[in-house]
Amino acid sequence: MRIELTPIRSEAVLSVHRQDEVLSVNGTAWDLSPLPEGARLPPGACDGLGLMAPVTRQGGVLQVVLALPHGLDAPEAVRFPAALDPAPQGPVDLPGHPGATGPGAPGLIDWAQMQTAEALAEQDRIAWRAAREVTRLDLVLAMAGAGLIAPASAIAAAGGGIPPEFEAVVAAMPAPAQAEARIRWAGAVTIPRLSPLILAVQAATGMTDTETDALFGWA
């Protein structure tokens, strides 16, 4: 277990004890052992633990960030505390706060708030899609490389024309949307991943999100 400390101005008392992956803070013990690799447990799931950041597990090691209360004119060791890596077993002495002599009473952790590695990865991918855009030329080259459009169509598309393979998709749009799609494609330097035209093409061709993401550089 690695414990980092974030100094806060407070007269609160802090006593910490560690027993393997059970961390006791001020008389309450929090068993963090069920947290899987890559998952994240937000501070609100352990109300009373004094977390300043989500608990994570990286390379098998629990990563915990605790608030470190201090008074006025705190010494440098308190204002700039070093991380405990690894945190010692038993009483954990912190700057200005002696360790607890033993583990506390079991506390409740709301595991329903835990975010799995898979859920976090999907969040990252959703955020990537929202922000991702590539040049029209790169997208046309990717489409040609994937066999979605013919080389001759790619040349026309690079010059601002809608690829003939996608004309039916555009034609199925309402008239105002058709005009906008053609104008935006012709004038675009970059094409967003979530462009209405791209989403329409994806739906019409039956491409998966993963296949469409690959056209925009998701590895």
Does residue 121 or residue 72 have the better pLDDT? 121
Q: Look-up: residue for tokens 């309450």?
A: 28
d(CA 74, CA 36): 37
Domain limits of the chain? Answer: 2-115, 129-215
Distances (CA, A) of 13 to 9, 55, 67, 135, 217: 12, 22, 11, 56, 51
**pLDDT tops 90 at residue 43:** yes
Q: What is the mean pLDDT of residues 141-160?
A: 95
DSSP E strand boundaries for the chain: 2-9, 16-19, 22-25, 28-31, 40-41, 55-58, 61-70, 90-92, 105-106, 133-135, 190-192
Which residues make Cβ contacts (< 8 Å) with residue 2, sequence separation at least 6? 61, 62, 63, 64, 83, 84, 85, 86, 87
3-state secondary structure of 121: helix
Distances (CA, A) of 149 to 1, 140, 171, 190: 53, 8, 17, 18
Q: What is the CA radius of gyration of the chain?
A: 27
For the whole model, what pTM was predicted?
A: 0.74
Q: Look at residue 158 in the predicted model and tell me its pLDDT.
A: 92
**pLDDT tops 90 at residue 49:** no
Q: Look at residue 219 in the predicted model and tell me its pLDDT.
A: 78
Query: Please, which pLDDT band fits residue 61 given cuts at 50, 70 and 90?
Result: very high
3-state secondary structure of 175: helix
Return the minimum-mean-pLDDT range out of 88-92, 108-112, 155-159: 155-159
**pLDDT tops 90 at residue 47:** no
Q: Look-up: residue for tokens 């998709």?
A: 169
**Considering the chain, what is the average pLDDT of its residues?**
95
pLDDT tens per residue, range 174-204 = 999 999 999 999 999 999 999 999 999 999 9
Q: What is the mean pLDDT of residues 135-140?
A: 97
pLDDT tens per residue, range 8-36 = 999 999 999 999 999 999 999 999 999 99
Q: Look at residue 32 in the predicted model and tell me its pLDDT.
A: 98
d(CA 162, CA 157): 6
Task: Give CA angle at 177 (175, 181), nearest 5°.
Answer: 120
Q: What is the mean pLDDT of residues 78-85?
A: 93
Q: What is the DSSP letter of 53?
A: S
